Structure 1
Amino acid sequence: MSSSDITCEAPSLKPLEEALTELLNSVTPLSRPEHRPIQGALDCVLAEDIHSSIDVPGFDNSAMDGYALNIDTEQAETGQEFKVIGQAFAGQSHQGAVAAGECIRIMTGAEVPSDCNAVIMQEQCSLDGETVRIEKSVSPGNNIRRRGNDISKGDSVLKQGQRLSPAKLGVLASLGVAEVQVYKPLTVALFASGDELRSPGEPLDAGCIYESNRFVVQSMLQRLGMKVLNLGIIKDDPVALEQAFLQAAGAADAIVCSGGVSVGDADHTKNVLAKVGQVDMWKLAIKPGKPFAFGRVQGVPFFGLPGNPSSAAITFHQLALPCLCKLNGELSESGMSLRMAAPRAIRKRPGRTDFQRGVLTYSPDGQLQLEVFGQQSSGMLSTLAAANCYIKIERERGDIAAGEDIEVIPFDRWMI
């Protein structure tokens, strides 16, 4: 395939990968740490490294209910008997020595006495008065969770820039950490532009449509833990747009607008943006979503999304969201990507990276299978709502035959 074929659809458009690199390089994390109790830190971004001040667990403990044995040989054999001299429960340790050939009754999580070197589960032994007879051989170290085998004192546990998931909060709790330093969430101003747009619940005049892009974008922003300043629908009027931009720049850390970034007579965003700020990027080699814009208003990053619903959602997800995460101090993470055979022929023109929508499921015999939707219009939101993955087709590729290798990207938690 010649270079002219590769760019035949849009020779002047910036490739997606180049655009994303430029976008990420153009934003610097806002360093605004604040302290929060861990109960209120879910999905916050850490503003500090976390090192453990303790061992976890803090003592040798039993992995199960049974008997802690003092074995003075390489292995206790089936039929060997031990004298029970005490007991230990979680939070109630056994006090005193345990001699060779002796044992104590022990519960899961209870501290194993220093004299004991193995635990046998209760189902593998029998009790006769104060004597335990083991029914299965056991070796020193069996069923003991050693001090610090999860986390050792001084270990690096969490990194600055990591998002606090439920499991990470649990780790903090296990270290006795009650409060953490996190980055203050971004405030993102959001509005849509278009005379034809109406909000849900309003009468739908002739030639008008209900506006949906703000609801998609606001939902993703809320999942990111960011605050949303929803400015509503702005008419296709340069004065109104200028006022909206200035209001947003004065109150938010970033601005997201959908609509008005194409080349129609009523698409004023570019001119207004050039007047009150700067335009750094305009139109990309991506489908859907070519009319994507990036710039700044009084220094505040601005992301201009296309008006078509799927285009707006996909460009926000693929371009704006990673930049907002970096602006919020979050470390970038690579998403999951699969290589699969195309289940059917897929039409595509070279020139733009294509994000088609599809569904990953399991067949009755447990094999992963892919369905690629026949309808891929940028104006259709229903297929995006029904999808759980992208089929990402490289910019230079054209039509794909059934069975050809393709890249499949499962939706992350921001989209699904």
Structure 2
Amino acid sequence: MTQLSNDCFKHNKKRISLEKAVSILEKRIKCIKKTQKIKLDQALGRILSKDIISKINVPPFNNTAVDGYAFKYSDLNKKKETTLKLVGRITAGQNFNKKIKKGEIARIFTGAKVPEGADTVIMQEDCNTTDNQIVLKPGIFKGANIRKKGEDIKYGKKIISKGSKLRAQDIALIASIGIKEIDVFEKLIVGIFTTGNELFEPGTKVSKSGIYDSNRYCLKNLLETINCSVKDYGIKKDNEKLIKKSLKKISKDCDLIITTGGMSVGEEDYVRKVIEENGSLNFWNIAIKPGRPVALGNIFKKPFIGLPGNPVSVMITFLKIALPTINKLSGFLSPKEKNFIVTADFNFKKKSGRKEFLRVKISKNLNGQIKIKNYPNTGSGVFTSMVETDGLIELPDKLTYLKKGAKIKFVPFTEVLV
């Protein structure tokens, strides 16, 4: 099932902006509409495939918000103390069938249903008790301390929309209207592998010219953070036949394929060649740093994303390119990225004509003003920078010099993977 049309992009040597790339992506990508019914206690991080409509009022009856006494407001003397007869005691969950009449009052505890005939609850601290009589102080208003029926949720209200990714508070809200099972989109099955003769699995002996594979671990955990089901196909050597065979197998088992490395124009970059010959490669030559090369296409009728080989580039292009693709395929109507305007505490030169993402750390000056510091080593292979910083700042295409003290857009890592 191809979810990305073959003519989404035609390969063009001219770079396109990130905004243009994401705009086309949003128009072309469609949700894989496979759904399932699951139990509510398994719903964390899942994406709703149907609106949730309440079939009850919440609360289902008027109840008290405090421990106190329930009575008729019309019995209250507005200028002096009022004495009423105590006729009952009501706890949460108790069915109290007696109607409160004129001159009567009932002891009531938080969450208990307000009895018929009563319309106000006074806090126990504002009363005095004498035998079976309760003395009320004046000054309370009618309806005080009562949670009204349907005050939180009214019957027939849509409480959560289709396409929402469920958080703990969303699940609690669904539980409050008595729903035990919900309809969700199936988890997106993503097949991943990394390419390169130089890559070795952590825990194995590495050659003198080799390095350990960190990209696959980054990619796998990013995908699992957003609740994808990940199939890890390991490290693939730079071998055209092996890569073709691997892609063909993965296409049968997965909804989406993501690879890292092998997407450039070098003689050993076979992933790109296999995609072009057996599918449709709509190559994104995007004007961003770090990040090139990034590819989007189809292989054996399945959508494909090819990320760069440098570790920092992998994470940033995942956040900026792969994530919106995955959200759309998953049915997640993701909110707009939250960003904050902060003050730069450094100077920085950049080239015009490309968007640049800098890794930065947050600090506060003596006046409590939030400022950001640039990580000193901006290389796309320095993954320490992703661990020792708090997020990214986005330098616009036309900007050539960021001056200390300038206001700039900052996106915390914690706000990206929602």
TM bucket, shorter chain: over 0.9
Distance 1:340 1:58, change over 3 A: same
Of 247, 256, 260, which aligns to 2:262? 260
Contact 1:75 1:140 (8 Å CA) reproduced: no
Contact 1:216 1:313 (8 Å CA) reproduced: yes
Structure 1 unpaired stretches of 5+: 1-9
Deviation at 1:77, TM superposition (A): 5.1
Distance 1:405 1:319, change over 3 A: same
Aligned twin of 1:296? 298
Q: Equivalent residue of 1:200, what SS?
A: coil
| Cα distance in structure 2, aligned partners of 1:404 and 1:131 | 69
Aligned twin of 2:5? none
> Once superposed, what is the RMSD of the aligned Cα atoms?
1.9
TM-score (norm 1): 0.93
Of 302, 321, 329, which aligns to 1:327? 329
Of 13, 34, 44, which aligns to 2:36? 34
Aligned twin of 1:358? 360
Distance 1:294 1:179, change over 3 A: same
Equivalent residues, number: 407
Distance 1:210 1:136, change over 3 A: farther
Distance 1:334 1:415, change over 3 A: closer
Deviation at 1:117, TM superposition (A): 1.3
| Cα distance in structure 2, aligned partners of 1:361 and 1:178 | 45
Of 84, 97, 100, which aligns to 2:99? 97
Q: Equivalent residue of 2:60, what SS?
A: coil
Deviation at 1:26, TM superposition (A): 2.3
| Cα distance in structure 1, aligned partners of 2:79 and 2:86 | 17
TM-score (norm 2): 0.93
Aligned twin of 2:122? 120
Aligned twin of 2:153? 151
Aligned twin of 2:174? 172
Task: Render the CA deviation track for 1:9-68: whole Å, top value 9, x for unaligned.
Answer: x99211101111122222211111110010111111101111110000000000111111
Alignment of 1:14-413 (within 5 A): 14-72=16-74, 76=78, 79-135=81-137, 137-361=139-363, 366-412=368-414
Task: Render the CA deviation track for 1:324-374: whole Å, top value 9, x for unaligned.
Answer: 111011112112111122122123221211111112355676543323222
Distance 1:57 1:283, change over 3 A: same
Q: Equivalent residue of 2:144, what SS?
A: coil
Q: Which amino acid aligns with 2:399?
A: R
Q: Equivalent residue of 2:287, what SS?
A: strand
Distance 1:131 1:309, change over 3 A: same
| Cα distance in structure 1, aligned partners of 2:369 and 2:404 | 18
| Cα distance in structure 2, aligned partners of 1:78 and 1:164 | 52
Q: Equivalent residue of 1:23, what SS?
A: helix
Distance 1:163 1:99, change over 3 A: same
| Cα distance in structure 2, aligned partners of 1:167 and 1:43 | 11
Q: Equivalent residue of 2:283, what SS?
A: strand
Q: Which amino acid aligns with 2:142?
A: P
Distance 1:386 1:134, change over 3 A: farther
| Cα distance in structure 2, aligned partners of 1:191 and 1:62 | 58
Q: Which amino acid aligns with 1:177?
A: I
| Cα distance in structure 2, aligned partners of 1:60 and 1:313 | 52
Distance 1:359 1:91, change over 3 A: same
Contact 1:348 1:399 (8 Å CA) reproduced: yes
Contact 1:335 1:412 (8 Å CA) reproduced: no
Contact 1:74 1:140 (8 Å CA) reproduced: no
Q: Equivalent residue of 2:315, what SS?
A: helix
Distance 1:229 1:310, change over 3 A: same
Greater alpha carbon shift after TM alignment, 163-172 vs 92-101:
92-101
Identical columns (%): 31
Task: Render the CA deviation track for 1:260-314: whole Å, top value 9, x for unaligned.
Answer: 1123332122111101111112321111102111111022111111111010011
Distance 1:136 1:382, change over 3 A: farther
Q: Equivalent residue of 2:401, what SS?
A: coil
Contact 1:66 1:119 (8 Å CA) reproduced: yes
Q: Equivalent residue of 1:412, what SS?
A: helix
Contact 1:283 1:291 (8 Å CA) reproduced: yes
| Cα distance in structure 1, aligned partners of 2:235 and 2:158 | 47
Greater alpha carbon shift after TM alignment, 356-365 vs 247-256:
356-365
Q: Equivalent residue of 2:73, what SS?
A: coil
Q: Which amino acid aligns with 2:330?
A: N
Greater alpha carbon shift after TM alignment, 10-19 vs 322-331:
10-19
| Cα distance in structure 2, aligned partners of 1:173 and 1:199 | 44
